[in-house]
Amino acid sequence: MSGRIPQSFIDELLNRVDIVDVIDARVPLKKAGREFQACCPFHSEKTPSFTVSPAKQFYHCFGCGAHGSAVGFLMDYEHLEFPEAIEELAHSVGLEVPREAGGARPRETAQHDYHGLLQRADHFYRARLREHPQAGRATEYLKGRGLSGEIAATFGLGYAPPGWDALLNHLGPDPATLKAAVELGLLVQKDDGRLYDRFRDRVMFPIRDRRGRTIGFGGRVLGDEKPKYMNSPESPVFHKGQELYGLYEARKATQKLERLLVVEGYMDVVALAQFGITDAVATLGTSTTPEHLERLYRTVREVVFCFDGDAAGRRAAWRALENALPVLREGREARFLFLPEGEDPDSLVRNIGADAFREKTVDSIPLSQFFYESLTRQVDTRSVDGRAHLVELARPLLQKLPDSVFRDLMVEELGRYSGVKVSSLQRRLFGASTPEAPPAPRRAVSATGRSPVRMAIRLLLERPQLALQIAQPAGFEDLDMPGVTLLHELLETSRAQPHLNTGALLEHWRGKAEEKALAKLAMQPLEVPAEGLDEEFCGAIQRLVEQRDRQRTEQLLHRSHASSLSEDEKAELKQLLEARVPAAANSRRKQQD
With beta carbons less than 8 A apart as the criterion, state whether 444 and 481 touch: yes
Alpha helices in 19-174 (DSSP H): 19-24, 70-77, 82-92, 114-131, 135-144, 149-154, 166-171
Minimum distance from residue 64 beta carbon to Zn ion (Å): 3
Please provide residue 195's backbone torsions phi and psi, each rounded to the nearest 5 degrees.
Answer: -110, 150
Range 464-523, binding Zn ion (CB under 5 A):
none
C-alpha span between 50 and 40 (Å, rounded): 5
Minimum distance from residue 66 beta carbon to Zn ion (Å): 5
With beta carbons less than 8 A apart as the criterion, state whether 546 and 576 touch: no
Looking at the Cβ atoms of 63 and 452, the one nearer to Zn ion is 63
Minimum distance from residue 65 beta carbon to Zn ion (Å): 7
Looking at the Cβ atoms of 43 and 508, the one nearer to Zn ion is 43
C-alpha span between 396 and 380 (Å, rounded): 19
Looking at the Cβ atoms of 61 and 250, the one nearer to Zn ion is 61
Minimum distance from residue 84 beta carbon to Zn ion (Å): 23
User: DSSP code of 530?
Assistant: G
Looking at the Cβ atoms of 66 and 517, the one nearer to Zn ion is 66
Q: Mask of contacts with Zn ion, 62-91, x by CB under 5 A?
A: -xx-x-------------------------
User: DSSP code of 467?
Assistant: G
Minimum distance from residue 406 beta carbon to Zn ion (Å): 12
Looking at the Cβ atoms of 328 and 467, the one nearer to Zn ion is 328
Looking at the Cβ atoms of 22 and 66, the one nearer to Zn ion is 66
With beta carbons less than 8 A apart as the criterion, state whether 2 and 103 touch: yes
Minimum distance from residue 77 beta carbon to Zn ion (Å): 12
Minimum distance from residue 61 beta carbon to Zn ion (Å): 3
Range 1-40, binding Zn ion (CB under 5 A):
40
Looking at the Cβ atoms of 66 and 334, the one nearer to Zn ion is 66
C-alpha span between 77 and 23 (Å, rounded): 9
User: DSSP code of 482?
Assistant: T
Range 35-64, binding Zn ion (CB under 5 A):
40, 42-43, 61, 63-64
Q: Mask of contacts with Zn ion, 354-383, x by CB under 5 A?
A: ------------------------------
With beta carbons less than 8 A apart as the criterion, state whether 43 and 331 touch: yes
Looking at the Cβ atoms of 58 and 305, the one nearer to Zn ion is 58
With beta carbons less than 8 A apart as the criterion, state whether 54 and 34 touch: yes
Looking at the Cβ atoms of 61 and 367, the one nearer to Zn ion is 61
Q: In a 10 Å sphere around its CB, with 0-12 CB exposed, 13-18 middle and 19+ buried, how is residue 219 labelled? A: buried
Length of the chain: 593
Minimum distance from residue 407 beta carbon to Zn ion (Å): 15
b/e burial code for range 146-172 (CB count within 10 A of at least 16 → b)? ebeeebbebbbbbbbbeeeebbbebbe
Minimum distance from residue 586 beta carbon to Zn ion (Å): 47
Secondary structure (DSSP) of 415-452:
HHHH---HHHHHHHHH-SS-TTPPPPPSS---TTSS-H
Minimum distance from residue 42 beta carbon to Zn ion (Å): 5
Minimum distance from residue 505 beta carbon to Zn ion (Å): 23
- DSSP three-state, residue 281: strand
Quick one: residue 24, left, alpha or beta (phi over 0 = left, psi -120 to 50 = alpha)? alpha
What element of type H or E holds 207?
A: strand 202-208
C-alpha span between 229 and 207 (Å, rounded): 13
Looking at the Cβ atoms of 37 and 177, the one nearer to Zn ion is 37
Question: Which residues are CB-neighbours of 325 under 8 A, at least 6 positions away?
Answer: 397, 398, 400, 401
Minimum distance from residue 462 beta carbon to Zn ion (Å): 22
- Total site size for Zn ion, rule CB under 5 A: 7
End-to-end CA distance of the chain: 49
Q: Assess 338 for contact with Zn ion (CB under 5 A).
A: no
Looking at the Cβ atoms of 63 and 216, the one nearer to Zn ion is 63
Looking at the Cβ atoms of 42 and 199, the one nearer to Zn ion is 42
Q: What residue ranges bind Zn ion (CB under 5 A)? A: 40, 42-43, 61, 63-64, 66
